[in-house]
Structure 1
Amino acid sequence: MPRGFRLAAATGLHQGDRPYQQDQVALLSHPRVPGCVLAVVADGMGGRSGGRKASDQVLLTAQQLFARFSPDRDTPQELLRRLVEDAHTVIKLTAAASEQEPHSTLAAFLLTPDGRGAAVHAGDSRIYQFRKGRLVRRTRDHSYVEVLIERGELAEDQAMLHPQANILVGCLGMRSTPPPLDVHTLEELGPGDALLACSDGLWHYFTPEELGAVVAEQSPREAVQLLVDEARRRARGTGDNLSVAIVRLDPLPRHTPQA
């Protein structure tokens, strides 16, 4: 890991007010490379068993690929691109074998010990990058309302009120279209930076400014608990499954010289 920061991280998962859980979240530490981590959020769709099968396949694929990942030989971008392609294929095969139509969103980011990083997403699960609490970037949803926003036909603060807000134009497992391959390079990461991946069951209830403030002011564990609890409160009994992963780059503690 580069000198100057250390990683602090936490994940959260809640069923919300749904009758079953289809979200999955994982924060994986590399089995051979200290300081190399992969965060994955997957929001499954397609009925009780179909959606959970899809999100399970995303996590299983991520675990298998990450176990073979070598920072000296491979790039984060290559692994994340492969994750999208392989998970998409496996979910389609699951659908053919079970006569269901499982799908899943994906939000994942990978950090290596030398400070390299990359992120990928598919569907409406998001990744936010903050710097000292301020938004640096967020992924753009593969959804119908996001298309309207990009065309200037809909304001962003009106998106979640749109009657077709839940329609996706891209995710994993779709038969009619290839999976989205939006891989982003995360550059110049350092102390004060934080990455947050989450499903729409969480981000639906917060502005980027609220998310950034909580991530900057609380430890990752405290931030996860606060965001989950507040999302549940704001949902007022109508909340979706929700999942979140936070990784923050904290400055190394200063050593006080001994007298």
Structure 2
Amino acid sequence: MSRGFRIAAATGLHKGDRPYQQDQVLLIEHPRVKGCVLGLVADGMGGRSGGRKASDQVLMTAKQLFTRFSPAIDDMHDLLRRIVNDSHTVIKLTALSSESEPHSTVAAFLVNPNGECVWIHAGDSRIYHFQRGRMVLRTRDHSYVQALVDRGELTDDEANIHPQGNILIGCLGMTTSPPPIDTHHIARLKPGDLLMACSDGLWHYFSPEEMGAVLHEQSPRSAVELLVEEARTRAIGTGDNISIAVLKFESLPREPKNAGEPSQH
């Protein structure tokens, strides 16, 4: 299908100052449908083995379901909900067969060849939508401090340095409640749009304005490298795992006019 844009993409993964990596990141094109793309970040929790098992389960589940997805006939919301719910079930089963208590966040976006987009998230991994460097929207964390912000008891800046900022009220693998499922739909992405999924190991260190400027001015690969490097610098030896997936929609290059063809006025 002809599109009015081309896609540039990049991912980044760094263990930060932690002794092991529990984040996972995924950005893949559909095996049969060009221009259908799934991006996902999962931040595992529950000790060295438990957290990594949880984020691995999210990625494996997403890959399996995405491979069976048919963009022409299947519902995009349904696919993302199945990724969340099936991952949640598998993670809980993993907890029953081990001594760990695995949990994971998830932030995933799905784009069809015509530019339609749906995203979903659970926990405090985020998705940002930028248009030419300006933030249009971001996900709202399922966390204790976000609840305080929503009630007007904290500002966003205060929440970012709150000592209980890592307490989640919803994620995958919880035994007491199902994961929260928040989705968002974009009818058609256009040139200048950019989607970014990332874990709190990245977004914690930047304002939306800072991230938007870097993502707009740089290629996705350069932007990812710069943001990860700066997050590492700002963490001052206390940084969490970092995961990031970026999808940038760029204008198609103009076709050159044939030599000798008269110009049109």
Q: Give the TM-score, by structure 1 length.
A: 0.98
Q: Indicate whether 1:156 and 2:135 are aligned.
A: no
| Cα deviations by residue, 1:122-169 (Å, 9 ceiling, x for unpaired) | 100000000111111000000000000000001111102112111000
Partner of 2:39 in structure 1? 39
Shift of 1:241: 0.4
Partner of 1:80 in structure 2? 80
The answer on whether the counterparts of 1:2 and 1:115 sit within 8 Å (CA) in structure 2 is no
**Runs of 4 or more consecutive aligned structure 1 residues displaced over 2 Å after TM superposition:** none
Distance between the aligned counterparts of 2:2 and 2:139, measured in 1? 26
Shift of 1:72: 1.1
Shift of 1:177: 0.9
Distance between the aligned counterparts of 1:96 and 1:186, measured in 2? 38
Partner of 1:173 in structure 2? 173
Q: Indicate whether 1:29 and 2:29 are aligned.
A: yes
Partner of 1:104 in structure 2? 104
Q: Indicate whether 1:7 and 2:14 are aligned.
A: no
Shift of 1:187: 2.7
Distance between the aligned counterparts of 2:202 and 2:95, measured in 1? 27
| Cα deviations by residue, 1:181-205 (Å, 9 ceiling, x for unpaired) | 1111123310000000000000000
Partner of 1:253 in structure 2? 253
Distance between the aligned counterparts of 1:75 and 1:209, measured in 2? 33
Structure 1 residue matching 2:256: 3-state secondary structure: coil
The unaligned stretches of length 5 or more in structure 2 are: 260-265
Shift of 1:258: 2.5
Partner of 1:225 in structure 2? 225
Distance between the aligned counterparts of 1:158 and 1:78, measured in 2? 36
Structure 2 residue matching 1:128: 3-state secondary structure: strand
Distance between the aligned counterparts of 1:20 and 1:254, measured in 2? 47
Shift of 1:2: 4.6
| Cα deviations by residue, 1:94-145 (Å, 9 ceiling, x for unpaired) | 0001132100000100001012110011100000000111111000000000
Distance between the aligned counterparts of 1:147 and 1:187, measured in 2? 29
Partner of 2:197 in structure 1? 197
Give the % identical residues: 68
The answer on whether the counterparts of 1:214 and 1:223 sit within 8 Å (CA) in structure 2 is yes
The answer on whether the counterparts of 2:3 and 2:113 sit within 8 Å (CA) in structure 1 is no
The unaligned stretches of length 5 or more in structure 1 are: none
The answer on whether the counterparts of 2:160 and 2:204 sit within 8 Å (CA) in structure 1 is yes
Distance between the aligned counterparts of 1:243 and 1:163, measured in 2? 22
Distance between the aligned counterparts of 1:138 and 1:2, measured in 2? 29
Partner of 2:263 in structure 1? none
Structure 2 residue matching 1:98: 3-state secondary structure: coil
Distance between the aligned counterparts of 1:31 and 1:168, measured in 2? 35
Partner of 2:60 in structure 1? 60
Distance between the aligned counterparts of 1:76 and 1:248, measured in 2? 20
Distance between the aligned counterparts of 2:115 and 2:48, measured in 1? 39
Distance between the aligned counterparts of 2:23 and 2:67, measured in 1? 22
Structure 1 residue matching 2:201: 3-state secondary structure: helix
RMSD over equivalenced CA pairs, Å? 0.8
Structure 2 residue matching 1:162: 3-state secondary structure: coil
| Cα deviations by residue, 1:43-77 (Å, 9 ceiling, x for unpaired) | 00000000000000000000000000001111211
